[in-house]
Chain A
Amino acid sequence: MFLGVFLSVASCYAQDTTIYSRPVEEQLSPIVKLRDELYASPSLHAFYRKYSYSLLSVNLENTKKDLYLRQEGSGVNSLRINSESFTKNHKGVSLWGNAYYTNDKIKQVNFNETLDYHYVYPYVMADTVGGDLNAESYYFGGGISKLISGLRFALQGSFKGIQSFRNVDPRPKNISSDIDFAFSIGKEIPNNKAISIDLNLKKYIQNNSLDFANELGFPLVYHDAGLGVYNELLAGTRMLAYYKGLMLGAQLNFVPTNLDGFSAQIGFNRFQLNKELDKIADRISAIKENRSYLLLAYHHQRQKNNLIVKLKGYFNKREGLEATFANTGQTSLYKVSEEVRYTREKLGIKFSAAYGKAKKKWKWFLGVEGTFNTDNENYFLPDRFIDYQTVSAGVFATLTKPLGKTLLNIEVKANQLKVLSDDYSWGDINTKKGIYQMLNANYIYLTTDIFTTNATLRFDFPINNKLGAFSNVTGAYTYFDKINKARNLIFSLGVVF
């Protein structure tokens, strides 16, 4: 019924239009989606698309997972209002920007009362109760690049603010700000090539507080130190934590300026984050993470044939330093020592390839992808670990076809992930404790084979010569095993101009 109504509306609007939007076709191409990452360098961003565009969209998303990481929740109901713009001018200035607002209800977040788990893990404030969490995000970002004396100089910056809260016990109230800044210099070299170097800086802050309204009392609040271990001296009623992070990074880039040829990207980031608690002078824990990555690709874009072959690899090493304290009986605890107690090493390799052909009345794309990942997470004293390796293979196909003045885009994907090996150990925990069950649930999630199918249906129709509208429905169904499934549904409406 929805499609019927939509096609009618689209058809009415399409009566008065004559020009079909090329930027839309560019955005729909899976080859362009794979290629965009190669042109992420601010000074090379001017080359990343052939056409300038602006976009405004509203997205509704619903996700529900039977297996999930307890700290991240079982799914989300999300509203997102998104706008982005790219103005290309090779000879002078290029500008781009992005802003969005999201309103999320994150379901069943347990053993974590802190925001931005991917940044702060494993050092979250936690209790065994948890529950649904409300969150709002605001993001503003943009960049500018300018050609000066044969060099392209670029600045790029963004701010992301999130607040999360819950209106029943336990009541976290968290605010985080994430500020990114990048400076980049690029140079075009002969044969339609360009190189650049980027310097990246991130400043991250979070105020994490927890409260209980129940006048009878509340459960144990603790500060996770990794794999369910926590400092007994800090557990109890310390419900105000501060996170302060800083990331420095550098990236080298090599790309063709005509989107045709070999690309390479290599980078290194170092992220440090300190966690402090109210009324304790010294930090209680710190994260030091090094990430190195490499991206190699070959792509060409002709009028009728398009191709991309991409290989991406990364190595991530996160170390967690944990302080021990002496209870001198005074207001503040006395720091005794600090040492590495937590490590996590992740290695990932991803291969993607896609080929597309433009026919007179339609375009089609076929692609394959494969991944290999290892993940080794350790805590020392008591010794606990999770170690697993996965491999995955997938195929995808896209068909783009004009229906009158309306453009229909259909995309289907299928991916099978297999766990090659897995092992764990946390034998020191009482099996009746919630932490034991949490670790087991997370382990099952991380080490279960996954088959995912995904389908997208999108209609684009011009409203006038400069304005187009679109509607997009994406559904994904994940099969873990006979009992456990996951599903994701996204509905989007927007305009492109």
Chain B
Amino acid sequence: MKNVKIIMSTLLAITVLFNACKKSDSERTTLTATITIPASLEGFTLKSGTVTLKEINSGRVSTSSAIINNTLTVALPAGSYNIVFEGELESTTGEKTVSKVRAVEDGVIVNGPSVSTELTLFLYKTQENFVIKEVFFTGTVTPQGKTYNGDKYFIIYNNSDKVLYADSLMIAESHFLTTTKRDYTPDVMATDFTTSSIVMIPGTGKTYPIQPGGSITIANNAINHLFYNELSVDLRNADFELTLLNSINVDNPQVADLENISGYMTMHNRGYKSYVIAKMKGSKEDFLTNQAYVTGYVNAAGNVTNANVYKIPNSWVLDAVNLSVASEFNWIVTNPVLDMGWTYCGKVNSDDTRYGKSVIRKVYSTAPNGRVILQDTNNSAEDFTPESKPSLFK
């Protein structure tokens, strides 16, 4: 009996010991985020704002407006955070003016007792101009379950209240993938968009007027794809078509071709690349001469991999849309001034649900004259409806 008591007591002690060690809560790290007003915004003071923190492992999002002396102090669980500030600056001299500002800092590692980071503000000002209304980049699937790629398209929309000319409007696809972040040198992202596939609407400057609320459709192949795939779309009414690689190009002589400035616009069908529209300044030849550069990165073997690319100044860019998929996303490949978010079709690499879906810009409002105004906050995550039914599909 004595042995039984000893054994029972031992078991009880072990049980109590385990329970005593029970972890009840997660440890926290104090993050201090300092909001910095750059020299270019001298004479302004921070009026208000909200910081959004997204932990990328868990997807957990938290927000705070408790900003004191341009500093936010918050206790967070350990992780890797993407931090966005959105707020307003107020002028300290002269007439009181208020300007919208943003700051973005990705991949802030929060661990240990305390961490600090800096959020440098930039002005956020949308302009009424051409915007990318829709990108159908995924292609379709035939009834037999085969992929069909020639039916992709862009729709560009005049989001202003005046007639705009589409002449010399470029569509450029990013050279970089949103799913593969590398330390590219030189790093020009603060000032330019890096591309190797550029097409341009021809014209003399006044050839292609687009009315307010009007749009143009640019098809891969402007043909009736329903003839080949009943699950596709008739694109014979497109305004323009691309000139693709010979092996996949089908020319419709009734539809004007875009001019290939560099490469072929094949459109990444998993949505790993981003697109901008920009107005060409000067001639094509000048562009190809002046904007060419070599980008490189150190590869896994320790060697430098170079590529001949072109840079489009951010100041030329009218609109941008970053595309990616959640499981593979690494970074946005535009400066956040152009676009600070990304949209998608499919949630994983090679997602079989992405086919026959596009990203479509949301409607913001309707003007008294009936003109539809599309949402343009320079944040594709907010401005676009992902995984939409393509608007040209019946």
Q: What chain B residues lie within 8 Å of A219 (beta carbons)?
A: 348, 351-353
A4 touches B (CB below 8 Å):
no
Q: What chain A residues lie within 8 Å of B4 (beta carbons)?
A: 264, 296
| Interface positions of A from 304 to 318, Cβ below 8 Å from B | 313, 315, 317
B180 contacts A264, CB within 8 Å?
A: no
B236 touches A (CB below 8 Å):
no
B60 contacts A237, CB within 8 Å?
A: no
Q: Nearest chain B CB to A394's CB is how many angstroms away? A: 25
A317 to B352, CA, bound (A): 41
Q: Nearest chain A CB to B261's CB is how many angstroms away? A: 28
Interface string of A12-28 (1 = CB under 8 A from B): 00000000000000000
B355 touches A (CB below 8 Å):
yes
A294 contacts B8, CB within 8 Å?
A: yes
Contact pick for B80, options A221, A254, A325, A381, CB 8 Å: A325
Chain A residue, CB-CB nearest to B325? A236
Q: What chain B residues lie within 8 Å of A268 (beta carbons)?
A: 14
B26 contacts A315, CB within 8 Å?
A: no
| Interface positions of B from 195 to 218, Cβ below 8 Å from A | none
Q: What chain B residues lie within 8 Å of A347 (beta carbons)?
A: 15
Main secondary structure of the interface of A (DSSP, over half): strand
A327 contacts B80, CB within 8 Å?
A: yes
Q: What chain B residues lie within 8 Å of A232 (beta carbons)?
A: 56-59, 326-327
Q: What chain A residues lie within 8 Å of B180 (beta carbons)?
A: 329
Q: What chain B residues lie within 8 Å of A215 (beta carbons)?
A: 145, 147
A232 to B353, CA, bound (A): 19
Contact pick for A236, options B147, B300, B326, CB 8 Å: B326
Interface contacts (Cβ under 8 Å), in number, total 138
A218 contacts B56, CB within 8 Å?
A: no
Q: What chain B residues lie within 8 Å of A3 (beta carbons)?
A: none
Q: Of A114-122, A197-205, A333-341, A475-483, which stretch is located at the interface? A: A333-341
A382 touches B (CB below 8 Å):
yes
Q: Nearest chain A CB to B78's CB is how many angstroms away? A: 4
| Interface positions of B from 322 to 358, Cβ below 8 Å from A | 325-328, 330-331, 346-355
A324 touches B (CB below 8 Å):
yes
A343 to B10, CA, bound (A): 23
Q: What chain B residues lie within 8 Å of A340 (beta carbons)?
A: 23
Q: What chain A residues lie within 8 Å of B353 (beta carbons)?
A: 217, 219
Contact pick for B57, options A231, A331, A380, CB 8 Å: A231
A315 contacts B80, CB within 8 Å?
A: no
A492 touches B (CB below 8 Å):
no
B327 contacts A328, CB within 8 Å?
A: no
| Interface positions of A from 338 to 397, Cβ below 8 Å from B | 339-341, 343, 345, 347, 380-382
B330 contacts A329, CB within 8 Å?
A: yes
B352 contacts A218, CB within 8 Å?
A: yes
B394 touches A (CB below 8 Å):
no
Q: What chain A residues lie within 8 Å of B303 (beta carbons)?
A: none
Q: For this complex, into which size category does the number of interface residues on chain A fall? A: 35 or more
Q: Nearest chain A CB to B213's CB is how many angstroms away? A: 36
Q: What chain B residues lie within 8 Å of A220 (beta carbons)?
A: 327, 347-348, 351
B181 contacts A339, CB within 8 Å?
A: no
A233 contacts B57, CB within 8 Å?
A: yes
A148 touches B (CB below 8 Å):
no
A325 contacts B57, CB within 8 Å?
A: yes
Contact pick for A336, options B15, B79, B181, CB 8 Å: B79
Interface centre among A254, A326, A341 (most CB of B within 10 A): A326
B392 touches A (CB below 8 Å):
no
| Interface positions of B from 290 to 335, Cβ below 8 Å from A | 300, 325-328, 330-331
Q: Nearest chain B CB to A385's CB is how many angstroms away? A: 13
A7 touches B (CB below 8 Å):
no
Interface centre among A216, A343, A347, A381 (most CB of B within 10 A): A216
Q: Nearest chain A CB to B9's CB is how many angstroms away? A: 11
A336 contacts B111, CB within 8 Å?
A: yes
A254 contacts B3, CB within 8 Å?
A: yes
B80 contacts A336, CB within 8 Å?
A: yes
A326 contacts B348, CB within 8 Å?
A: no
B331 contacts A329, CB within 8 Å?
A: yes
Interface string of B160-181 (1 = CB under 8 A from A): 0000000000000000000011
Chain B residue, CB-CB nearest to A331? B300
Q: Nearest chain A CB to B126's CB is how many angstroms away? A: 29
Can you report 21 A-B residue pairs in the complex whose CB atoms are below 8 A from each other? A215-B145, A217-B354, A219-B353, A220-B327, A220-B351, A229-B58, A231-B57, A232-B327, A235-B326, A235-B327, A236-B328, A236-B348, A294-B8, A296-B7, A315-B14, A328-B107, A329-B331, A334-B109, A336-B110, A340-B23, A345-B18
Closest 10 CB pairs of A and B: A236-B327, A329-B181, A217-B352, A337-B78, A326-B80, A217-B350, A216-B352, A324-B57, A236-B348, A237-B349
Residues of B in contact with A (beta carbons under 8 Å apart): 3-4, 7-8, 10-11, 14-15, 18-19, 22-23, 25-27, 55-60, 77-80, 107, 109-111, 141, 145, 147, 180-183, 300, 325-328, 330-331, 346-355
Further pairs besides A235-B327, A329-B182: 12, Cβ < 8 Å: A216-B355, A217-B350, A217-B351, A218-B350, A218-B352, A296-B4, A324-B55, A328-B107, A334-B109, A336-B80, A347-B15, A380-B26
